[in-house]
Amino acid sequence: MVMAKKISEAERQRDVVEKSLKQLGNLIYDQINEGEFPWIMMQSRSIDNIQYDDTVRQYILGDRMIKRHSRNIKHIRPFTQLVWTAWFARELVKLRKTSTLREVYYSARGQRDIEYNDQKESDNIITDLEVALNKAREEFGIFPEERSAIFGDLTIEYTVPGYEGRRTNLTDHPDGVMVGPAVTSSEFIETTANKILVIEKGAMFTRLVEEQAHKKFNAILVHTAGQSPRSTRNIIHRLNKMWGMPVYIFTDGDPWGVHIAMVIVSGSANAAHLRGLTTPDAKWIGVWASDIINYKLPTENLTEFDKKRLTELQSDPRYKEDPWNREIETFIKLQKKAELEAFSLYGLTYIVDKYLPEKLNEN
């Protein structure tokens, strides 16, 4: 009984998305029939219309609207692309299929006169569609290519066709479970974990699984593989919200690692039109610049590129507080950086036996 209700909920969601896509089609259809060049309004995604909002603790779009008008010779191409993408999304939703950003790009190339110069142009149109309909692309069945993974005592229930109602525990696969459309659209049923450990790098994720870190720390492990994909951020957000699990983030000790943590915390400007991707209370707990000193880690020198990035981060209001600010200043002082793997110096299990417990205690 419970099962059936959940699936109908997923169906209801799909229905809403499909209706709004069809509505867009109707709008354009009617405009043309009235002898008018079709146009649509959407929130502006230009940089001066993106602002950080303290209440929701993420970037949001401002009030400025733009009109994309097919009478404008510069707009008609992206307008056409948008209409095609909406149609493609509707087909996906109708057929209950999913696709990747790259597949959408190539499907467009198979279509005469729907032209893209590169995938970036196509991705950009998909984002336009998200803004125009106020929906995330995952709701249209469009996913990025998967590369992040999740592992731990969490039971989920699939909603994808053919798997509806089927359950699995994420410890079933010792390599971790890939965060794809199926995991993203699944329902979270139960867990014994009480925290989430987010790890930037694959090698360290594998190390933690091997060392039974999920049991030792009672945690769900998430591997972001660099900058975390939106679907992964969405899962972290949901776990945090649903069960109040604290989130701890481990990244390389360099400006890029710092920012990977920040995007999980407060999102990116690129996704300012979306909600449900941020976890404002997540904590970045390492590798800190001060860890380099405290744990006498082997280091590399900061490159010019690293230094430039640190200066950029300093001008971002989100980094004004500690530990962010303090650690950035320490990086600048040290002129050094360290990778997660640097702990191997003290043996393979050091990070699980010593470093992580200490860091988790501190925070």
Partner 1 sequence: MAQQEYQAVSPSDFFYRNREIAGFSNPSRAIYVGIRELLENSLDACESAQEPPKIYIRITEESIQNNENSTVIYYIRVEDNGTGVPSEQIPACFAQVFYGSKYTLKQSRGTFGLGGTMTILFGQITTHKPVIVTSSTGEDIHQFEMMIDIQKNQAQILRHSIYSNVKKWRGTIVELQMEGDYPRIQSRMIEYFKQTAMVNPYLDLTFIDPKNRLYRFERGTDIMPVLPRAVRPHPHGIDVETFRRLISITKTKDMKNFMMEHFQGIGSITSERFLTFAGIESKQKPINLSPEEIVKIVYAAKDFKEFKRPDSSCLSPIGQELLETGIRKELGLTEDDFIKTIQRPAATYSGYPFIIEAAVVAGKTVRKLGQGITLYRFANKIPLLFDESSCVSFKVISKNINWKTYKVNQDTPLVVAIHVCSTKIPYKSVGKEFLADQPEVEKEIANAIRKAARDLRIFISHSLRLERQRHRLNVFSKYLPKISEFSQKLADKEESPDIQKLLNEVNVPPQQEETEDEDENGSSDDDVILPEDEDFPEVEEDEIEEDDGNGEKN
Residues labelled catalytic: 106
Q: In terms of CB distance, is 18 or 329 closer to partner 1?
A: 18
Burial of 188 (0-12, 13-18, 19+ CB in 10 A): middle
Q: In terms of CB distance, is 68 or 135 closer to partner 1?
A: 68
Site track for partner 1 across 193-232, x = CB under 8 A: --------------------------------xxx-xxxx
Strand-pairing partners, residue 250, are: 199, 286
- Whether residue 136 contacts residue 167, with contact meaning beta carbons closer than 8 Å, is answered with no
Strand 219-223 relative to strand 177-178, pairing: unpaired
Min dist. Cβ of residue 331 to partner 1 (A): 19
- Greatest alpha-carbon span in the chain: 74
Position 13 contacts partner 1 (CB under 8 A): no
**Member of 14, 17, 40, 45 binding partner 1 (CB under 8 A):** 45
Strand-pairing partners, residue 50, are: 61
CA distances from 164 to 4, 51, 187, 301 (A): 9, 40, 10, 51
Position 348 contacts partner 1 (CB under 8 A): no
- At 249, list the tokens: 């983030």
- Whether residue 224 contacts residue 148, with contact meaning beta carbons closer than 8 Å, is answered with yes
- Please list, residue by residue across 149-159, b when 16 or more beta carbons sit within 10 angstroms of its beta carbon and e when fewer do: bbbbbbbbbbb
d(CA 100, CA 208): 29
d(CA 165, CA 196): 25
Return the range that interacts with partner 1 (CB under 8 A); candidates 119-127, 214-222, 291-299, 325-333.
Answer: 119-127
Report the SS3 class of residue 59. Answer: strand
**Member of 11, 15, 53, 145 binding partner 1 (CB under 8 A):** 145
Q: In terms of CB distance, is 191 or 267 closer to partner 1?
A: 267
- Whether residue 16 contacts residue 32, with contact meaning beta carbons closer than 8 Å, is answered with no
**Member of 146, 252, 254, 291 binding partner 1 (CB under 8 A):** 146
Site track for partner 1 across 303-342, x = CB under 8 A: ----------------------------------------
Q: In terms of CB distance, is 149 or 209 closer to partner 1?
A: 149
Position 124 contacts partner 1 (CB under 8 A): yes
Hey, how many other C-beta atoms are within 10 angstroms of the C-beta on 330? 18
d(CA 83, CA 142): 16
Position 44 contacts partner 1 (CB under 8 A): yes
Position 117 contacts partner 1 (CB under 8 A): yes
Min dist. Cβ of residue 248 to partner 1 (A): 21
Q: In terms of CB distance, is 6 or 77 closer to partner 1?
A: 77
Binding site for partner 1 (CB under 8 A): 21-22, 24-26, 28-29, 32-33, 35, 37-38, 44-47, 49-50, 66-68, 70, 72-80, 83-84, 86-87, 90, 100-102, 113-114, 117, 119-120, 123-124, 143-148, 225-227, 229-233, 259, 263, 267-271
